[in-house]
Structure 1
């Protein structure tokens, strides 16, 4: 059976890993990654399209000459993107987040195993926790980088607006605001760092105690008589 210290430390790490898993689920499930105001110039009027979307779906609304407000439409991101590069980028972000989710799940499993038992295999101990938490953080950070790249390089909001309203003509300007679905990925990275830190302190304390128990014989008490 594991010691109380190990149970407490790995139990705390298990909680942070589980929170990370839940947050990634929220990131994938919610569609508030981006809010955009995209302005187009037509022959006789200007049009502004307001978009709120995520990786899978979103909503768009159109206003003409800042006066006439048309009804809000719901759209699917994949269906509104005719550009293969933009669609591939969104697919890549989804795949990376799924890998991050699996890494977080494996990290939760490893910390839970160490909370209730003492696995003999080295990788099932702290090394495994370091590995899966690091991968989870790297995958999440990669997704955070790729999404803005897709917005800027592929003009994602413009293409989605044109997919909603086919008659839009010349794009004038765009204004973007990242939503909570995007920013809470920072919480995932923070939770992974906390998990690694907790296990590092446990592993360092255990190593120090082991070294202390293996002190050289010259450090033994001088009054010991050897026969």
Structure 2
């Protein structure tokens, strides 16, 4: 029967991983960014129109005011479909972000299974032991961090929002994008923290067990030679 301390550490780690899955799952369905861009016809320098977009990872909405010449309120945006119309960095980076987040969820699922298994068994140094948790949660942290960096790069450097507008309005000029990141993006941060805490909780238990084992071996190593000979 596992000790109460072991159960507390591994079940807490599993709970943290599960909380991370819930946070990331919600984040992937929420809004990630919005942008307001000044708009003008391609044959004019009169930027008196605008395009306002609010997007998540998969869907969003767009409101155009004289962009380039007519209004279009509340039009639905299918992110992948629009980005695919203009091949280049935006569609590649956005696809990588979604793939990385899927890998993060897979890593978290692996972490939950490993911690639950370790709560009631002793797989020691096999891949199903604490090493498995460190690997799965470490993978989740790395890919989620990379997804965060790629998304910011795509929005600010890769001009993702400009591509979304030009996918349906190729003959338009855009300038001065005002971009704001939203809750879906920022939920990556607590997701990463949950996984780091899951690793820390199990590491503290493993370190305590290792330290206690060394302390139990120490008296024999340090015993006087007379006693050892006797």
TM > 0.5 between the two?
yes
Structure-2 residue corresponding to 1:100: 104
Which residue, 69, 79, 82 being the options, matches 1:80? 82
Give structure 2 stretches of 5+ with no counterpart.
none
Shift of 1:225: 9.1
Larger CA deviation: 85-94 vs 138-147:
85-94
Larger CA deviation: 78-87 vs 107-116:
78-87
Query: How far apart, CA to CA, are the structure 2 residues paired with 1:99 and 1:38?
Result: 33
Q: Deviations over 1:102-134 (max 9, x none)?
A: 000000110111112222552212111111111
Shift of 1:28: 2.1
Structure-2 residue corresponding to 1:2: 2
Shift of 1:53: 0.3
Structure-1 residue corresponding to 2:199: 196
After superposition, the CA RMSD in angstroms is 2.4
Q: Is the 8 A contact 2:38 2:47 kept in 1?
A: no
Structure-1 residue corresponding to 2:39: 40
Q: Is the 8 A contact 2:17 2:198 kept in 1?
A: yes
Q: Deviations over 1:190-221 (max 9, x none)?
A: 11111111111101100011111112436459
- Under a length normalisation based on structure 2, what TM-score does the superposition of the two structures give? 0.88
- Under a length normalisation based on structure 1, what TM-score does the superposition of the two structures give? 0.89
Which residue, 87, 102, 120 being the options, matches 1:116? 120
Query: How far apart, CA to CA, are the structure 2 residues paired with 1:179 and 1:54?
Result: 9
Query: How far apart, CA to CA, are the structure 2 residues paired with 1:171 and 1:226?
Result: 88
Structure-2 residue corresponding to 1:49: 51
Which residue, 149, 156, 159 being the options, matches 1:152? 156
Counterpart check, 1:181 vs 2:184: yes
Larger CA deviation: 36-45 vs 17-26:
36-45
Q: Is the 8 A contact 2:86 2:167 kept in 1?
A: no
Which residue, 200, 208, 211 being the options, matches 2:211? 208
Query: How far apart, CA to CA, are the structure 1 residues paired with 2:178 and 2:171?
Result: 17
Shift of 1:93: 1.0
Shift of 1:70: 4.2
Give structure 1 stretches of 5+ with no counterpart.
none
Query: How far apart, CA to CA, are the structure 2 residues paired with 1:129 and 1:10?
Result: 10
Aligned residue pair count: 223
